[in-house]
Structure 1
């Protein structure tokens, strides 16, 4: 596996991003530099959709992205959020091999999406060094000690069911931002992810949005809430 990735690396590096890996306009307010800094780690907790959305603009503009260890990654959901699947490499690796596979991927792509439990401090440092050297931004689905930027989905609400009937058409999130350095000041940002037309755009960060892990959507009278995860 590592040999195959190493052979692909020169081809993938032809599409290295510039100083920042671009993100969708609606996501720029989540990041202190309004883009993903190569060599830096952004951790996302509370939803894989936000991880995928952070890869949409980069892949659409020609950057290769690799995904390792994200068990619930759906390619259809990724495409609907704007990810160019022609620029996304999804690697299924045993849990004990994911850290070394991530190292190989970080040396060849411009954006690495990483899931699973955070590796040891030594493995995290090795990955950071490789990412800085090769110019790869890292987005982690989950907690990551020392992450430069932390994004946490603290609330979500689905719309479209009405009085217990209909289709889930739009999802509104509240994302809490934090981290180190320029990202240290915590803020809350509202997002439609997606809106009723399937687009990712900003929304009001209203306190009334249901708290995660489940969003309670009221059904017909007497039937209680339906929890959507």
Structure 2
């Protein structure tokens, strides 16, 4: 009986993988602010984890801005300190956002229900045992997200997140010699997808005019001596 050589087996496996890739449905891209696209492109069915530390909330509102500005619905669950003014300055259309600030123990049920009506759901899981999401639950919710063509951003740990984002090394500008006020913050933002090399960008988040830009405006760079840049 003839047997396949290792090279023939590898060729067959490669062809099978190509067929699977061709058969896999293409996921719908959600609108993402241009300044963030080099970092992460939101896609329907995706789950994204954002470190809630320094700059995490601002980064999340920047991601929420894309879909809502394009006319889609967003939702924010479990964030009682949601900064509506800061989110609006970053481009979030507040009239397109459903807020459930204190869902209590029903937070996961609230997220599952909102998948039916919102394209992007932001959730801050509770701390402790009540906030733990099992692999099984995460898998079921991910399947629901794919079916409904929605995406989820978790402000905190989430199993099976396809991209994990962190912000670090914040710098504030505007303090001068103590006679000014904080006007702009420079963050180094990193995105990790599985074992792939991390992507990093530096963003003024927000810039002096409260918008989001990928690099400091030229006049800010030139004027740092009198603006002052301080570590937070």
Q: Same fold (TM over 0.5)?
A: yes
Partner residue, 2:82: 73
Unmatched segments (≥5 aa) in structure 2: 1-26, 126-130, 217-228
The Cα of 1:25 is off from its aligned counterpart by 0.8
- Of residues 195, 199, 214, the one that matches 2:211 is 199
2:145 is the alignment partner of 1:136: no
Cα distance change on mapping 1:72 and 1:93 into 2, 3 Å: closer
Q: Distance in 2 between matches of 1:159 and 1:137?
A: 34
Contact 1:30 1:151 in 2 (8 A): no
In proportion to residue count, which structure has more strand?
1
The Cα of 1:29 is off from its aligned counterpart by 1.0
The Cα of 1:136 is off from its aligned counterpart by 0.3
- Of residues 134, 153, 156, the one that matches 2:170 is 156
- Of residues 69, 91, 108, the one that matches 1:99 is 108
Map 1:1-229 → 2, pairs under 5 A: 19-31=28-40, 35-45=41-51, 46=53, 47-116=56-125, 117-180=131-194, 184-203=196-215, 228=232
Report SS of the residue matched to 1:30: coil
Contact 1:171 1:195 in 2 (8 A): yes
How many residues align? The count is 186
Report SS of the residue matched to 2:214: strand
The Cα of 1:42 is off from its aligned counterpart by 0.9
Contact 1:99 1:123 in 2 (8 A): no
Contact 1:48 1:72 in 2 (8 A): no
Contact 2:49 2:165 in 1 (8 A): yes
The Cα of 1:118 is off from its aligned counterpart by 4.4
In proportion to residue count, which structure has more helix?
2
Q: Distance in 1 between matches of 2:114 and 2:185?
A: 32
Partner residue, 2:22: none
The Cα of 1:120 is off from its aligned counterpart by 2.3
Report SS of the residue matched to 1:55: helix
Cα distance change on mapping 1:119 and 1:25 into 2, 3 Å: same
Q: Distance in 1 between matches of 2:99 and 2:176?
A: 37
Instruction: Return the TM-score normalized by structure 2.
Output: 0.75
**Max radius of gyration: which structure?**
2
